[in-house]
Structure 1
Amino acid sequence: MNQTTSDPSLRGPAIPDYIKAIPQYLYPQHLLSRLMGKAMRISLPRIKDWQIRWFIRHYGVNMGEALSPDPLSYGSFNDFFTRALAPDARPMATGNDQVISPADGRISALGTIDGGGMVQAKGREYTVTELLSGNALDADAFAAPFQNGQFVTIYLSPRDYHRVHLPVAGHPHGMRYIPGRLFSVNPATTRVIPRLFTRNERVAMVFDTEKGPLGLVMVGAIFVGGIETAWAGAITPSYGQPVSLWEYDRSRHPELSFRRGQEIARFNMGSTIILLFSPDMVDWVPTLRPGAQIRMGEPMGRLT
């Protein structure tokens, strides 16, 4: 596995990591996340204004980047959290062959999907088949285009921008909701919980592009109030539904053609995005490495 180890998430777990992570097995994860979702949607001015002001102070949010910079203009904390950015806040890398970052965040891992295996943290691996398909009957076929391809994992902290944009132009080929747990996806938990990204609830999307299939997986986490896409609306919370599959034929859904950089989804709280590329599809820029901060629109690589 071609990995660098400069990011703390790629070192082995320490005792404080276990102290933070192990109690999560006991939490009523879905209940807590549903309660958080309700709290984020309170519209009573006295409460939502306090929530927003506290969050801005605590995380140092730059409201100058927001399309609506006035914190009191938002109808709820969730509206604030999923706020749109001003048009010039994230300049997009020029050139249609540029692969851009889909979101603001930190690169926690990247490398080659050797034999279908991917690195979560030092000593922690999982497979692309598990990630994309859960227990679906077509698991191997859905994951096949990415065997021996490349991946990059981006961790979104609470302070980051939480809308997700398409790295290259494409059309959705398929999407699936995969139920699961809701462990935190912070670095400490990533180092401790085995196969974390394949245990957690997630939405996996595959797009057809001019250079081949592109996978984009949005991994849920505790206190994530929901995942929604631009064309299907809210996918989570699911309230106990099984694996759900959607397929999109381009001839039937010509409206589902997305430009590079166009918004395709959003998190209603922080979490993780995993991008999957088919073999020989992309060359990374030299600055793309674990631990690096990246913002939506910045170049990650070039299509080959």
Structure 2
Amino acid sequence: MEQRGEDPTKHAESHGDFEEALKGLIDEPGAKHKHLSIHSPAPEVITNAWLNNLIPGIHKLEATYHVGNWVATARGPNPPKVFESMPLYVRLGMQALYHGRRQAQLLASERVSKLLREQSIKQGKAFDSTDNVLEHIQAFVKTYQIDCAELEKPNIADYKTFNEFFYRKLRPNARPVDSPSDPSIISSAADCRLTVYPTVEKAKEFWIKGANFTLTSLLQDESLATSFHEQGASLAIFRLAPADYHRYHSPVTCLVGPTKNIEGDYYTVNPVAVNENLDVFTENKRDVTLLSVPQAADATPLSVAFVAIGAMLVGSIQGTVQQGQEVGRGDELGYFAYGGSTVVAVFPAGKVQWDEDLIINSSVPIETAVRVGEQIGKFV
């Protein structure tokens, strides 16, 4: 344990090099098939040498136990809750890499930022490869129990690369929107784990712990942040886990506005980092798209900022709509290539009432599993 007042750089290399640990979590040397280790079924997970040295025998535990993030798996009062599945060695490795002042300082260094960027680009290229595609998809489907029956192309042999499967399309009507004729309803933008907050301040209190998180830093636009009334803006945070369908959709009926591409880092968007003192959302690569929501006759349209945020191992954020295009609630806006990812939707202060069960869960805080098109709130 680090002692209070201790120089956080004093033991920067203790328990091995953290950079090598990160490389090991992504691409363990000696793996039979590169890039399979973190998504292999539990009994087949490759042993991570760095963590095994830190915790002898961990490879025996990882084959049996999966742990993860606390998630409500259904809507309504007193929902069932589970820990989202994650191989134990990956979970502990992420804790070791992201938890604490020493690690935060290391991750803030240009050296590690460069490593994360290089590894993410490397993985993107690897998953665009045609090597071992079917085997990789089979392992992924087995690990995460993907329901291929709902896919536009249900035969996994039809996918030429793993990335093509990762941003797979669903068959028509697989995600119907709730109450499609009611313009007041706001829908989930993704299959995801969701938290919602009536204000930025509430989000910082319960969920986002980055010291420098502000709406201005998220949007990289002080004027736009001010138009949302900065601290009072409402937020919906849609976290996509690797198993999720990775196309994202409009939560509202709107006119698509301009998109700003913001270059940045590739930290994980897992709560293990977001709930630490790391500025994940405001440092990561992201696209900010303005959505203009029509109001009653002669009223000024309402603006929503739709922020697609890349993450560790995400190769790209790809929009599939154009500025000036009209889209309905539930229509596709784009997709993420390989990796866990997040969308943050920003609404002007006082304009949204989130569903009560989501507010209760988010204040615990617990994420709630929701799907594209599902109602999550209403305009007021």
Q: Normalization by structure 1: what TM-score?
A: 0.80
Aligned residues of 2:187 and 2:330 also touching (Cα < 8 A): yes
Q: Match of 2:346, SS?
A: strand
Deviation at 1:300, TM superposition (A): 0.6
- Counterpart for residue 64 of structure 1: 149
| Higher strand fraction (1 or 2) | 1
- Counterpart for residue 280 of structure 1: 350
- Counterpart for residue 105 of structure 1: 192
State how far apart, in whole Å, the 2-side matches of 1:87 and 1:120 are.
37
State how far apart, in whole Å, the 2-side matches of 1:259 and 1:52 are.
32
Report the structure number with the largest CA radius of gyration.
Answer: 2
State how far apart, in whole Å, the 2-side matches of 1:155 and 1:120 are.
15
Distance 1:283 1:109, change over 3 A: closer
Q: Say whether 1:225 aligns with 2:315.
A: yes
Distance 1:299 1:267, change over 3 A: same
- Counterpart for residue 266 of structure 1: 335
State how far apart, in whole Å, the 1-side matches of 2:183 and 2:285 are.
33
Aligned residues of 1:208 and 1:214 also touching (Cα < 8 A): yes
- Counterpart for residue 374 of structure 2: 298
Distance 1:24 1:68, change over 3 A: farther
Aligned residues of 1:20 and 1:188 also touching (Cα < 8 A): no
Q: Match of 1:35, SS?
A: helix
**Cα offsets for 1:27-85 (capped at 9, x unmatched):** 601111111111111124xx111111111111111112211111111121111111111
Q: Match of 2:253, SS?
A: coil
Aligned residues of 1:113 and 1:146 also touching (Cα < 8 A): no
Aligned residues of 1:20 and 1:189 also touching (Cα < 8 A): no
Aligned alpha-carbon RMSD (Å): 2.5
Which aligned pairs between 1:157-168 and structure 2 lie closer than 5 A? 157-168=241-252
Aligned residues of 2:236 and 2:346 also touching (Cα < 8 A): yes
Equivalenced residue count is 265
**Cα offsets for 1:65-110 (capped at 9, x unmatched):** 2111111111211111111112232121012221100101112452
- Counterpart for residue 75 of structure 1: 160
State how far apart, in whole Å, the 2-side matches of 1:123 and 1:40 are.
32
* Residue segments in structure 1 that go unaligned for 5+ positions in a row: 1-6, 10-14, 134-138, 233-247
Among the aligned pairs, what percent are the same residue?
27
Distance 1:267 1:296, change over 3 A: same
Q: Normalization by structure 2: what TM-score?
A: 0.65
State how far apart, in whole Å, the 2-side matches of 1:57 and 1:36 are.
20
**Cα offsets for 1:239-261 (capped at 9, x unmatched):** xxxxxxxxx5xxxx4xx111111
Q: Say whether 1:192 aligns with 2:276.
A: yes
| Higher helix fraction (1 or 2) | 2
Deviation at 1:174, TM superposition (A): 2.4
* Residue segments in structure 2 that go unaligned for 5+ positions in a row: 1-68, 72-91, 296-301
Which aligned pairs between 1:42-191 and structure 2 lie closer than 5 A? 42-44=129-131, 47-94=132-179, 95-114=182-201, 118=204, 121=207, 123-124=209-210, 126-133=213-220, 139-147=221-229, 148-191=232-275
Deviation at 1:215, TM superposition (A): 1.0
Q: Say whether 1:20 aligns with 2:97.
A: yes
Q: Match of 1:159, SS?
A: coil
State how far apart, in whole Å, the 2-side matches of 1:193 and 1:183 are.
12
Aligned residues of 1:8 and 1:187 also touching (Cα < 8 A): no
State how far apart, in whole Å, the 2-side matches of 1:112 and 1:186 are.
21
Q: Match of 2:198, SS?
A: strand
